Structures are given as structure tokens and as C-alpha cells.
Structure 1
Amino acid sequence: MIHEMSLYEDPFEKIKGGRKSIEVRLYDEKRRKVNVGDAIVFRKLPDKSESLRVVVVGYSVFGSFRDLFMNFDKSKFGHPENISIDDQIKLSRQYYTEDKEKEYGVMGIHIKLAD
């Protein structure tokens, strides 16, 4: 299955450059359909004129961003080593509210660039 998702420039470029291998999303209805072996086409915001294709090599589901970030090295998310977990959560809050986090839980989608 091929999924389409949008990404802002910074995470898009980190994935493209091999500096990010876990994409963070809510574990909502759309993401519950993502499986190992699926492809994701990320389209770069704001105009979506550039895209890249990745393959899902795994995924992790947690009840909170804190639990997700505590279980993986910061570099997997494209974050600097000196960032705190609280700051990682603040970055996620730019996109997802605490209420949505509690409603759906969160998903770390483990990806690699498609050949």
C-alpha cells in the first residue's frame, strides 16, 4: 500500500539527507492503516511540489510522546543530542495537541529511503 503524507521543510530535508529515520504521527485512523513494507510518499509543504518515497521498516505505538521519545535515540527523530525530552514534546505540540495525543496515542514510523 502507498500512503501520502505532508511534511514541513525541516523534517523533509532530514529524511531526504538520511538524518531522520522515525517519523512521528498521531496513531489516528489514517496511521492505523500503515504496515511494515508499505511505502509513504512525503510531499514537502507548503506547495507540495517536491516529494520523496520511503519504505516502512517498522513502527512503534505509545500512549504519549514522552514514552516514544524515551525509547529511541534522539538522532532517530532528527533531533540534536542535547535536546531534552520536554523540548522534543514541545516540538511535537507545534502539530498535535495534548488532547489529540491522549485521544489517539502516538506512532513512530520507522522508515528508510526507497531505492
Structure 2
Amino acid sequence: MTHYMNLWDDSFRAINEGWKTVEMRLNDEKRSVINVGDVIDFTNTTTQEKMSCKVTNIYKYSNFVELYENHDKVSIGYREHESANPDDMLMYYTKEQIERYGVMGIELDRLNKER
């Protein structure tokens, strides 16, 4: 199955460059149907560039604190010199949304790596 998601430019580039391998999302109705082996077609919200990734694993947690504790910061999109803080995700989701749905880490492998 193929799913369609938008990504901010920085996350899109990090996945495209191969160092961000886990996309963090709410485990809401739209994402709860994603399975290992599915394909996600991402669209860069800034450039409209597209890329496809295969889902290689799915990790489910009650909140982003748990997710951050179980994944290294580079794999979830931080540079080595940056501090990783689960509260950063409050920029995208409310506490109420996180409590209601829980969160997921979607491990990805880039499919169309040619440039």
C-alpha cells in the first residue's frame, strides 16, 4: 500500500541525504494503517519535490519522551551537535493529541536514490 505525507524541508532533506531514518508522527487514524513493507510518498512542503520510502519498521510509544529514549538523535532528525528534546514536537502536535493517539516512529529506507 502507498501512503502520502508532506514533510517540512529540513526533514525531507535529512531523509533524502540518508541520515534521518525514522519519521516521527502521531499514531492517529491516518498513520495507524501503515504497515512494514508499505511505501510512503513524501512531498517537500517548500519545493514540492517528491521521494518514496519503504517502511522497514514501526515503533509505537505513548509519547515522544519514550520515542526519544529509544532512538538515537541523528536517526530521528537531529544533527550530532544539536540537543534532542521531545518538547520540540509540541511545535507540530498538541499535548492533547499526543495523549489521545500516542506516537510512532516510522523507520524508512529511501527507494528512489538516484538524483
After superposition, residues 16-27 of structure 1 pair within 5 angstroms as 16-27=16-27
Separation in structure 2 between the aligned mates of residue 34 and residue 18 of structure 1, nearest angstrom: 21
Question: Helix, strand or coil: the match of 1:99?
Answer: helix
- TM-score scaled to structure 2, two decimals? 0.91
Deviation at 1:46, TM superposition (A): 3.5
Local SS of the residue matching 2:98: helix
| Cα distance, 1:55 vs structure 2 | 0.2
Instruction: Name whichever structure is richer in helix by fraction.
Output: 1
SS at match of 1:103: helix
Q: Deviations over 1:43-76 (max 9, x none)?
A: 00046x2110000000100001000110111111
Which structure 2 residues correspond to residues 85-100 of structure 1 after superposition, within 5 A? 85=84, 87=85, 89-100=86-97
- Secondary structure at 2:19 match in 1: coil
> Could you tell me which residue of structure 1 aligns to residue 13 of structure 2?
13
Residue 52 (structure 1) aligns with = 51
C-alpha separation between the residues in 2 aligned to 1:105 and 1:99?
10
TM-score calculated relative to the size of structure 1: 0.91
Q: Give aligned-pair identity as a percent.
A: 37
Task: Report the RMSD for the aligned CA atoms in angstroms.
Answer: 1.4
- Structure 2: state its 5+ residue gaps: none
2-structure distance, mates of 1:26, 1:76: 17
Runs of 4+ residues over 6 Å off in structure 1: none
Instruction: Please give the per-residue CA displacement for 1:81-102, whole angstroms capped at 9, x wherever unaligned.
Output: 45445x2x23211101111000
Shift of 1:36: 0.4
Q: What's the secondary structure of 2:93's corresponding residue?
A: coil
User: For residue 79 of structure 2, what is the amino acid of its counterpart?
Assistant: P
Residue 77 of structure 1 is matched in structure 2 by: 76
Unaligned runs of 5+ in 1: none
Equivalent pairs counted in the alignment come to 112
CA distance, structure 1, for counterparts of residue 81 and residue 95 of structure 2: 24
Q: Which amino acid aligns with 1:65?
A: F
